[in-house]
């Protein structure tokens, strides 16, 4: 297993690529409650973080790339700075750089349909960078200035993406290029960039056209052993049409490529998107699935090794302590929610050590037995007890309502013998509702007793003796309208 380095909430795993100032690692973002994500982390070489110019350039890349949102641009997710080092966190692209794919193909010409598709993806990504705006909606004026096969990633999904905006020029960038200092790869620089004139989107169009010419022909365009000769060729040399080098290239592509390579910016495509659209209208470009097959055919071994590293990283991260603690916390919350749903209660204090739930084993996701374990550890259900309490309270409220209604009625004259007064029938109404099979009781409801007037101030009420159980029923009231006293269980 590759050596792993922890940087805050990130885990650096295996090295993917290395350059003059930084190394790119396969990494892992570890969040809370078990969340994680595979990322690519660019780590500055030791000592560079002490260079103010390098630090400003590093931060420029993060700030500028964060403002570009497009599927053909590798997004930047975060920046970390600690212990004299800088870390740039980017989205992980499962694929290879265009430079490596070209080398794996022994520099052979690429099928025009695939080469055009890759170039169009690069141009669309560059156009998104050129159109990027700041937080106030003002154009940033981004120019990549380092478009090259090394800074193009072609994914196993068949999508090409632009990366590495480290030396991009923006209107309000922090880092500025010193006079007489060139940044970027010489072989892909436009004439105005070499002459230190103003650069704009058309400068990146020129570099993309160089990449397309090299893919179509399988040759380097401006490379020379002598730097001076390379510069002279860029500034004054003539570029042969691609079809003259490789006859299989459609002739209609020649004019398109040569326009992108024009020495005067005004003679080129005005925008990267304009050149991408021209490519799509001129060539029958390959589908992403076709590009994916081309990538797999050239880099199957390296992609398999990369997939193994990703699986190794994810497996090791799954057993990390922070992930386990986060998962345990999630299970604890789930167990509390289930107990709350079962009991209608949410615990408001920590469990004591004597409580069997405190020593319960953590739940395993997807296990059916966990539900039974959780319910058996939950407090006994109180549903039946609550039902009784609610029923008694309801009956008490009914009795209270009847009592208030009776008090509001005018008091009748004393009833004839054998008629039960209305004031004595409230409990007789409540009792049959609570216990239909029991005889009528002569005990008043506690709720009514509590709501009755004080005995010292209440006027005397007539009383009547209840007939014994089994005695004949009292005669009916003389009036035609039945009274409360005439109600019975029948």
Question: Residue 462: CB partners within 8 Å, gap ≥ 6?
Answer: 414, 415, 421
pLDDT category at 474 given cuts 50, 70, 90 is low
Determine contact, residues 100/210, Cβ cutoff 8 Å. Answer: no
Residue carrying the six token digits 């909430």 = 9
Give the number of other CB atoms < 10 A from CB of residue 169.
23
Is pLDDT of 242 > 80?
yes
Give the number of other CB atoms < 10 A from CB of residue 235.
11
Span 25-38, mean pLDDT?
85
Q: What pLDDT score does 221 carry?
A: 93
106 included as an active-site residue: no
pTM exceeds 0.75 for this model: no
Min mean pLDDT across 225-239, 303-317, 420-434 is at 420-434
Does domain 95-317 fall under CATH 2.40.340.10? My reply is no
List 417's β-bridge partners, or say none: none
Determine contact, residues 187/222, Cβ cutoff 8 Å. Answer: yes
CA 404 to chain centre: 60
Neighbour order of strands in the sheet with 160-162:
95-97, 152-155, 160-162
- Whether the CA torsion 141, 57, 234, 250 is positive or negative: it is negative
User: Which of 15 and 445 is assigned the larger pLDDT?
Assistant: 15
Is pLDDT of 57 > 90?
no
pLDDT category at 329 given cuts 50, 70, 90 is low
Q: What pLDDT score does 385 carry?
A: 64
Q: What pLDDT score does 81 carry?
A: 80
Min mean pLDDT across 148-162, 298-312, 426-440 is at 426-440
Q: Assign residue 313 a region (left: φ > 0; alpha: ψ between -120 and 50; beta: otherwise).
A: alpha
Q: What pLDDT score does 79 carry?
A: 86
Q: What pLDDT score does 457 carry?
A: 46
Is pLDDT of 349 > 90?
no
CA distances from 144 to 89, 170, 201, 478 (A): 19, 9, 8, 108
Q: What pLDDT score does 365 carry?
A: 47
Determine contact, residues 217/242, Cβ cutoff 8 Å. Answer: yes
Determine contact, residues 192/129, Cβ cutoff 8 Å. Answer: no
pLDDT category at 62 given cuts 50, 70, 90 is confident
Q: What pLDDT score does 485 carry?
A: 43
pLDDT category at 455 given cuts 50, 70, 90 is very low
| Catalytic hit among 121, 146, 164, 317 | 146
Q: At residue 93, what are phi and psi to the nearest 5 degrees?
A: -110, 120
Determine contact, residues 159/118, Cβ cutoff 8 Å. Answer: no
Is pLDDT of 141 > 50?
yes
């Amino acid at each position: 297993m590759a050596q792993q380095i922890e940087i805050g909430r990130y885990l650096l795993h295996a090295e993917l690529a290395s350059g003059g100032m930084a190394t790119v690692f396969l990494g892992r973002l570890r969040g809370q409650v078990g969340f994680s994500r595979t990322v690519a982390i660019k780590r500055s070489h030791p000592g560079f973080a002490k260079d103010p110019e390098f630090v400003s350039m590093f931060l420029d890349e993060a700030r500028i790339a964060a403002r570009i949102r497009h599927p053909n641009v590798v997004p930047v997710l975060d920046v970390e700075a600690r212990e004299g080092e800088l870390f740039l966190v980017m989205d992980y692209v499962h694929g290879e750089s265009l430079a490596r794919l070209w080398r794996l193909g022994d520099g052979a010409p690429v099928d025009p349909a695939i080469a055009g598709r890759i170039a169009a993806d690069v141009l669309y990504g560059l156009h998104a960078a050129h159109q990027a705006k700041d937080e106030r909606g003002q154009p940033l004026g981004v120019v990549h200035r380092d478009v090259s096969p090394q800074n193009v990633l072609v994914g196993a999904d068949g999508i090409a993406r632009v990366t590495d905006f480290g030396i991009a020029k923006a209107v309000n960038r922090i880092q500025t290029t010193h006079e007489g200092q060139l940044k970027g790869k010489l072989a892909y620089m436009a004439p105005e960039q070499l002459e230190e004139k103003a650069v704009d989107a058309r400068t990146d169009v020129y570099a993309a056209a160089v990449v397309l010419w090299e893919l179509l022909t399988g040759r380097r365009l401006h490379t020379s052993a002598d730097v001076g000769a390379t510069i002279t060729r860029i500034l004054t040399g003539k570029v042969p049409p691609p079809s003259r080098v490789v006859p299989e290239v459609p002739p209609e592509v020649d004019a398109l490529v040569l326009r992108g390579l024009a020495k005067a910016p005004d003679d080129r495509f005005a925008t990267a998107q304009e050149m991408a659209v021209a490519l799509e209208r001129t060539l029958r470009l390959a589908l992403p699935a076709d590009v994916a097959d081309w990538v797999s055919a050239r880099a199957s071994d390296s992609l398999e090794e990369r997939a193994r590293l990703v699986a190794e990283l994810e497996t090791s991260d799954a057993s990390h302590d922070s992930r386990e603690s986060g998962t345990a916390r999630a299970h604890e919350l789930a167990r509390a929610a289930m107990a709350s749903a079962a009991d209608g209660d949410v615990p408001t204090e920590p469990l004591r050590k004597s409580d069997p739930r405190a020593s319960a084993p953590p739940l395993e996701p997807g296990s059916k037995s966990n539900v039974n374990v959780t319910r058996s550890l939950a407090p006994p259900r109180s549903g039946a007890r609550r039902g009784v309490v609610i029923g008694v309270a309801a009956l008490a409220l009914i009795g209270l309502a009847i009592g208030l209604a009776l008090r509001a009625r005018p008091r009748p004259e004393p009833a004839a013998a054998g008629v039960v007064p209305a004031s004595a029938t409230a409990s007789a109404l409540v009792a049959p509702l609570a216990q239909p099979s029991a005889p009528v009781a002569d005990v008043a409801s506690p709720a009514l007793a509590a709501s009755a007037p004080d005995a010292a101030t209440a006027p005397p009420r007539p009383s009547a003796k209840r007939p014994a159980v089994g005695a004949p029923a009292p005669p009916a009231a003389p009036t035609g309208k039945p009274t409360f006293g005439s109600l019975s269980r029948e």
